[in-house]
A and B are shown apart, each in its own frame.
Chain A
Amino acid sequence: MLSKATRQLIERPGEVASGRLQCCLGVAIFRLLMRSGVGTGGRGDPVPPRPRSTRNPTRFPALSTTICALEKTGHSLSSDMFGLPRSHLMASGSESQGRRGTERPQVLLLRRPLSVLHEALSARFQLLRPWESPVPFDRFLAAHAAGVRALLVTGLTPVDGPLLDALPALRFIVTTSSGVNHIDLAECARRGIAVANAGTIFSLDVAEYAVGLLIDVLRRVSASDRYVRRGLWPRAGDYPLGSKLGSKRVGIVGLGSIGSEIAKRLEAFGCSISYFSRSRKPQVPYTYFPSVGDLAAESNVLVLSCALTKETYHIINRDVMSALGKDGIIINVGRGALVDEAELVKHLMQGEIGGAGLDVFEHEPAVPEELFCMDNVVLSAHFAVHTLEMSSELCQLMIANLNAFFSDRPLLTPVLVRT
């Protein structure tokens, strides 16, 4: 039996970005992928990605299959979007239907993924799409997923013991995120299920987003943009002064790939960098602090770029906020639950902390409404990873990991390997 939380999440509709936007974006990136020749060969057998020089840049494998799949989900397509006449596509439809049945490996999805990824996956794998089925999720799995060996998790959908119980043949999970706090790794290890994530492909996007948020908070970019758009500049005069970024002491919580990219960038702005991490990193030139409290006491800014684990849950608590001080700024591009959100809101309301740039929240998409009227806070909807560049890189990485699993080769970005 699936846990109620998991079932609810799965049965909720997927992305609600407009269908047309998804399709248009999907086409653009699908073409990009096709041109770069990533993924399987034309027959649908999983093969290792070929070197660039041998790729056929003009092939469009199983395009009609993709169209059939998309049509099932309610997307309507015109020849304009794909740049090909529809008659051409329908003619090859039956041919690819036959191919689809036997040769391509099965991958279970739990929710409808972003179009970009969906199209790329459909071209290479036989996808099990429970949201398309009229039967309840539990019964769908029982009927169709008894033999499925691979699961692709999108949207941070939780993977827990009960779900794994329903997938007895599962041997591989890959998630489109870097974080894996939504996956019960202990249960996966117990069952011999390997897990892969998105590795470090988000690092550039998240790092620059963190820097953008920090500049925005200190220099009131979004707040003064609102001021201008409301017509206040001529009426109410110059906007109040902000705070200089240079020589701020920045404390990075979690100096992994993302934290390192953030550090590198902020150094160029004249910030001094310190960090807290599970262990000291002797090869980096930054000052290490053995606790977040100590780090906060010596910093003007805390940037959170660590994984969410039992140890880091609410790592930014009231004591840390006090240590950071009245002018302190918190930038969170990790997970909402790294911060005691209720305490943060209280501190902000009482002027006990200088400001915050938040891309993540404890109960997304719910955001404490007290923050909506604050000018020293910048809010974002978990967008730090979402760039066109990342999107195409993510598709490639997900497919490469799935291909590696199906051909018994080492995973590219493993989090847990089968022993």
Chain B
Amino acid sequence: MESLGVLLPIPMNAYLESELDRRYKVFRLWESPPERRQDFIRANAAAIRAVVGNSKAGADADTIDALPRLEIVACFSVGLDKVDLAKCRERGIRVTNTPDVLTDDVADLAIGLAIAVLRRLCQADRFVRSGAWLSKGGYKLTTRFSGKTIGIIGLGRIGLAVAKRAEAFGCPISYYSRSEKPNTNYKYYSNLIDLAANCHVLVVACPLTEETYHIVNREVLDALGPKGVLVNIGRGPHVDEPELVAALREGRLGGAGLDVFEQEPDVPEELFGMENVVLVPHVGSGTNETRNAMADLVIGNLEAHVMNKPLLTPVV
């Protein structure tokens, strides 16, 4: 039986790649210079039946059109914003992602970012490393995280995991979602501005879709306010980034913990000088344990597909 041809658009993970190499024929798109990539795809289209995508690159309409034999898109992420799902449905292409295995890491980071911003952890670390403790002494009063109201946008797996952790700090939980969730005691807001106005820390934990693009806009930031903190562990485009920078610059927003940005890996440099922000380079699922588990899930889905068995974590 013909070995599965797998298109890998960008390097993702060494373990994943070696597992793919062991089983399949891997086509590494990044090995061609950018101007030759269309040719590369055309030249190998006959062999490519699978694409492995992630948060940065997946299978958009053009890619799908260029791969007439494409059968499955297996994402090395839980987010599917880089996959044209409608087109996949239309073509009968299966799509899988990596839910659950990364839920804990992303939720851990959300809380870690909130504490780091409110308690100025990175600032303290910089303070000590600069030698300032010796010469300047002194301290700053920061804001306690425990007991603060947390507002969550999207109460899915990750949102619920954030809520569970925050509850252990005595934080009341509210959320905004497309619809109210039946089995929770958390306070539901049908309007995001109201949620923002009534919480201290606002966490973005929903999928990126056309509806949620720039869902955190100027009005939401103003409602969150000069003492409010935004934590984004979703996707950069959830937030109107220029508005976010302006709100921080002008003191209309209290602080931000950001794992994602609109144009990764570029981050607005104005943020680099701010004490009330924490900036991390899309490390939400970035642990050895989790990336290995995600890789296993990608391989598991591809293997199931090849053997005509039920997919492990299908979306389409």
Name A's B-contacting residues (CB within 8 A): 15-18, 21, 25, 204-205, 207-209, 211-213, 215-216, 218-222, 224-229, 231, 233-234, 237-239, 241-246, 264-265, 267-270, 364-367, 372, 378-383, 386-391
- A221–B134 alpha-carbon span in the complex (Å): 24
Residues of chain A contacted by B286 (CB below 8 angstroms)? 219, 238-239, 241-242
* Pair A219/B167 contact, Cβ less than 8 Å: no
Q: Is B164 part of the contact surface with A, judged by Cβ < 8 Å?
A: yes
* Pair A381/B139 contact, Cβ less than 8 Å: yes
Given A366-B134, A380-B128, residue A221 in contact with residue B113 (CB < 8 A):
yes
Given A208-B169, A212-B115, A245-B104, residue A219 in contact with residue B287 (CB < 8 A):
yes
Choose among A25, A209, A241 the residue that contacts B119 (Cβ–Cβ < 8 A). Answer: A209
Name B's A-contacting residues (CB within 8 A): 104-105, 108-109, 111-113, 115-116, 119-122, 124-129, 133-134, 136-147, 164-165, 167-170, 264-267, 269, 272, 278-283, 286-291
- A219–B140 alpha-carbon span in the complex (Å): 25
* Pair A268/B143 contact, Cβ less than 8 Å: no
Residues of chain B contacted by A208 (CB below 8 angstroms)? 115, 119, 144-146, 169
* Pair A389/B143 contact, Cβ less than 8 Å: yes
Q: Can you report 30 A-B residue pairs in the complex whose CB atoms are below 8 A from each other?
A: A16-B136, A16-B137, A21-B140, A208-B115, A212-B119, A216-B112, A218-B287, A219-B109, A221-B109, A221-B116, A222-B116, A224-B281, A225-B278, A226-B126, A228-B280, A231-B269, A233-B267, A234-B265, A265-B165, A265-B168, A268-B165, A269-B108, A269-B165, A270-B104, A365-B133, A383-B124, A386-B139, A388-B143, A390-B144, A391-B141
- A242–B289 alpha-carbon span in the complex (Å): 9
- A387–B120 alpha-carbon span in the complex (Å): 10
From residue A354, how far is it (CB to closest CB) to chain B in Å?
12
- A204–B146 alpha-carbon span in the complex (Å): 7
Rank and list the top 10 A-B pairs by shortest CB-CB distance, nearest first. Answer: A215-B112, A268-B168, A212-B115, A17-B138, A233-B265, A379-B128, A380-B124, A365-B133, A244-B289, A244-B287
* Pair A243/B289 contact, Cβ less than 8 Å: yes
Residues of chain B contacted by A238 (CB below 8 angstroms)? 265, 281-282, 286
Residues of chain B contacted by A222 (CB below 8 angstroms)? 116, 121-122, 125-126
* Pair B288/A241 contact, Cβ less than 8 Å: yes
- A241–B288 alpha-carbon span in the complex (Å): 6
* Pair B116/A212 contact, Cβ less than 8 Å: yes
Residues of chain A contacted by B146 (CB below 8 angstroms)? 204-205, 207-208
* Pair B279/A367 contact, Cβ less than 8 Å: no
* Chain B residue nearest in CB terms to A263: B168
From residue A160, how far is it (CB to closest CB) to chain B in Å?
23
From residue A237, how far is it (CB to closest CB) to chain B in Å?
8
Choose among A221, A270, A387, A389 the residue that contacts B121 (Cβ–Cβ < 8 A). Answer: A221
**Apart from A219-B105, A246-B108, A269-B104, 15 more pairs, CB < 8 Å:** A17-B140, A207-B146, A208-B169, A216-B121, A219-B108, A222-B116, A228-B267, A233-B266, A243-B288, A244-B104, A268-B165, A379-B128, A381-B133, A387-B142, A389-B144
* Pair A215/B108 contact, Cβ less than 8 Å: yes
- A224–B126 alpha-carbon span in the complex (Å): 12
- A244–B164 alpha-carbon span in the complex (Å): 17
From residue A207, how far is it (CB to closest CB) to chain B in Å?
8
* Chain A residue nearest in CB terms to B114: A212
* Pair B112/A219 contact, Cβ less than 8 Å: yes
Residues of chain A contacted by B145 (CB below 8 angstroms)? 208, 212
* Chain A residue nearest in CB terms to B293: A244
- A390–B143 alpha-carbon span in the complex (Å): 9
- A233–B127 alpha-carbon span in the complex (Å): 23
From residue B230, how far is it (CB to closest CB) to chain A in Å?
16
Choose among B126, B144, B280, B288 the residue that contacts A205 (Cβ–Cβ < 8 A). Answer: B144
- A365–B132 alpha-carbon span in the complex (Å): 9
Given A208-B169, A212-B112, A381-B127, residue A229 in contact with residue B144 (CB < 8 A):
no
Residues of chain A contacted by B278 (CB below 8 angstroms)? 221, 225
Residues of chain A contacted by B111 (CB below 8 angstroms)? 211, 215, 269
Residues of chain B contacted by A239 (CB below 8 angstroms)? 280-281, 283, 286
From residue B258, how far is it (CB to closest CB) to chain A in Å?
9
- A211–B140 alpha-carbon span in the complex (Å): 19
* Pair A204/B147 contact, Cβ less than 8 Å: yes
From residue B93, how far is it (CB to closest CB) to chain A in Å?
28
Residues of chain B contacted by A378 (CB below 8 angstroms)? 121, 125
Residues of chain A contacted by B269 (CB below 8 angstroms)? 231
- A241–B14 alpha-carbon span in the complex (Å): 12
Residues of chain B contacted by A218 (CB below 8 angstroms)? 287
Residue from A212, A218, A234 whose CB has the most chain B CB atoms within 10 Å: A212
* Chain A residue nearest in CB terms to B147: A204
Residues of chain A contacted by B137 (CB below 8 angstroms)? 15-17, 365
* Chain A residue nearest in CB terms to B286: A241
* Chain B residue nearest in CB terms to A22: B138
- A25–B127 alpha-carbon span in the complex (Å): 20
Given A15-B139, A221-B278, residue A365 in contact with residue B134 (CB < 8 A):
yes
* Pair B287/A227 contact, Cβ less than 8 Å: no
* Chain A residue nearest in CB terms to B115: A212
* Pair A387/B267 contact, Cβ less than 8 Å: no
Choose among A226, A234, A381, A388 the residue that contacts B266 (Cβ–Cβ < 8 A). Answer: A234
* Pair B112/A367 contact, Cβ less than 8 Å: no
* Chain A residue nearest in CB terms to B279: A228
Choose among A231, A234, A246, A388 the residue that contacts B142 (Cβ–Cβ < 8 A). Answer: A388
From residue A282, how far is it (CB to closest CB) to chain B in Å?
23
Residues of chain A contacted by B109 (CB below 8 angstroms)? 215, 219, 221
Residues of chain B contacted by A215 (CB below 8 angstroms)? 108-109, 111-112, 115-116
Given A269-B108, A381-B139, residue A372 in contact with residue B129 (CB < 8 A):
yes
Residues of chain A contacted by B279 (CB below 8 angstroms)? 225, 228-229
Residues of chain B contacted by A16 (CB below 8 angstroms)? 136-138
- A230–B130 alpha-carbon span in the complex (Å): 15
- A226–B136 alpha-carbon span in the complex (Å): 22
* Chain A residue nearest in CB terms to B136: A16
